[in-house]
Amino acid sequence: MTMKKWKEIKKHGYNIILNEGGQNIAYSPNSGVKIIEEDGYAFKNLSKSGKLEKYEDWRLPVEERAKDLASKMSIEQIAGLMLYSAHQSISTKDDFFSKAFAGTYNGKKLEECDAKITDLTDQQKNFLLNDNLRHVLITVVDDAKTSAVWNNNVQAFVEKTGLGIPVNTSSDPRHGASADTEFNAGAGGDISKWPEPLGLAATFDSELVRNFGHIAAKEYRALGIATALSPQVDIATEPRWMRFNGTLGEDPILSRDLGEAYCDGFQTSYGENEINDGWGYDSVNAMVKHWPGGGSGEGGRDAHYAYGKFAVYPGNNFDDHLIPFTEGAFKLKGKTKKASAVMPYYTISYNQDKKNGENVGNSYNKYIINDLLRDEYKYDGVVCTDWMITKDNHVVDAFISGKCWGVETLSEDERHYKALMAGVDQFGGNNEVKPVLNAYEMGVKEHGEEFMRARFEKSAARLLLNIFRTGLFENPYVDVDKSQELVGNPEFMQAGYDAQLKSLIMLKNKNNVLPINERKKYIFQKEK
């Protein structure tokens, strides 16, 4: 008789099982998931099949588990996995982002009922249950406790459905000192405050950026976040571009070095938190953006708007824009080796398609995604589109609108199909599964069912791999009390503050103010 090698501990809202010498697992006692014992160890029977499936066996390589699960998924489930939700706010704050992304609870607004902000909204339940969506983007949160409790509620909800695939929650950068800037809607809660990316670049210190990644990843995981929609390594060659401050500067080599450190810091786990190959419970998937570089918008205009759809590379320096990706994010010093995901930009990289001569948005361009990224540079991670590229655009100067550049005459279903055939795995900002299923049927008609099934499984395996490697299949829950203690703790706050000091650059040392040898009073006046 095999000796039992595990014990179970009840936590608030979930139970955790400690496997002696193996991976610990956690589950909701209300989800209906049963525990299977094999060789004395405990495993979650997420499939509800009554037997231990390969994807449920934490002893197997994650690549084998991902392929096994992909083979078991229906086309509807894979199509749902290909969705990345529109922005979700988990906040009671009276601000733009909280209001713009608010949902309803049994048809009522939060303030009209007795629901809690940590409850799932009607919209979230719908896209998780009916559309099989498993990738969620969150913006504003009230605090660490709110984010942690919401995460646990979401994971318990999906654990009891389908094959029990956990939710992979993501965030735009959260660590800037300002909580209300346009591209920092994710900021909020008592998280440590660091320089914005251009400020990190101003430190000229790769190891500082690597340390930032380690700290930020720990805080992300305490909030329930396992994917970072960053870093933004676009070369800032156009100073009029409104996303200039989100980059790591204008130098390809500096951006290469800092981008490598950023991704490596976010993705690498150490010690008891490492599961395998550098991945583990402190790891956060880095989605590096925006391939193949969106910092050369025509006239400094941005591709969020219809008038900024073209990237023109006026210095004929297209290859320079690739360096932070191909020599940085794809060649990490740590064991995780490369950024696990890539986001192409909205832009049409004008006249850069050397094979088909197409001028379409980068996610639709087979040369940019398949020939260049996949074949030439051998990138085999997830490719996720930027948000809302498959929606129609009706207003030339609207920020929140569809961005279907170069494929405006195609239907929404046809846009999904074209992007899939270009090599895309996932659609950002799309909560609805129907267009993906219609794209699948288009592929079946053109290439046959066997071809399209294989095409979908390939993307599913890539997407699942990022969930397996971060340990979410074993334990997607977070300890609320520990989250409150860790997020924004004094040590992390001090590190962020020190980094902000190092990011300051003096442009002019008038009257030799520095260095300060003795305390003096200075009165500064504007030059006439």
Q: Which residues are catalytic?
A: 251, 386
| Cβ contacts of 476 within 8 Å, gap of 6 or more | 26, 151, 155, 159, 166, 167, 224
Give all strands (DSSP E) within 241-347, no chain letters: 274-276, 279-280, 285-291, 310-311, 341-344
CA distances for 435 relative to 299, 411, 414, angstroms: 34, 10, 8
CA distances for 441 relative to 172, 426, 427, 434, angstroms: 33, 17, 17, 11
- Other CB atoms within 10 Å distance of the CB of residue 25: 24
Which of 106, 111, 174 lies closest to 144, judged by CA? 174
What does the block give as tokens for 437? 């299923």
What does the block give as tokens for 256? 């290469």
Instruction: Name all contacts of 442-450 with Cβ < 8 Å and 24+ positions apart.
Output: 442/413, 442/414, 442/417, 443/417
DSSP state, residue 24: -
Instruction: Name all contacts of 295-301 with Cβ < 8 Å and 24+ positions apart.
Output: 295/234, 295/235, 295/236, 295/237, 295/238, 295/241, 295/243, 295/244, 295/247, 295/321, 296/235, 296/237, 296/238, 296/321, 297/238, 297/241, 297/347, 298/350, 299/240, 300/238, 300/239, 300/240, 300/241, 301/240
**H-only helix segments in 194-279:** 197-203, 206-222, 252-267
CA distances for 465 relative to 81, 186, 285, 399, 442, angstroms: 12, 25, 10, 33, 27
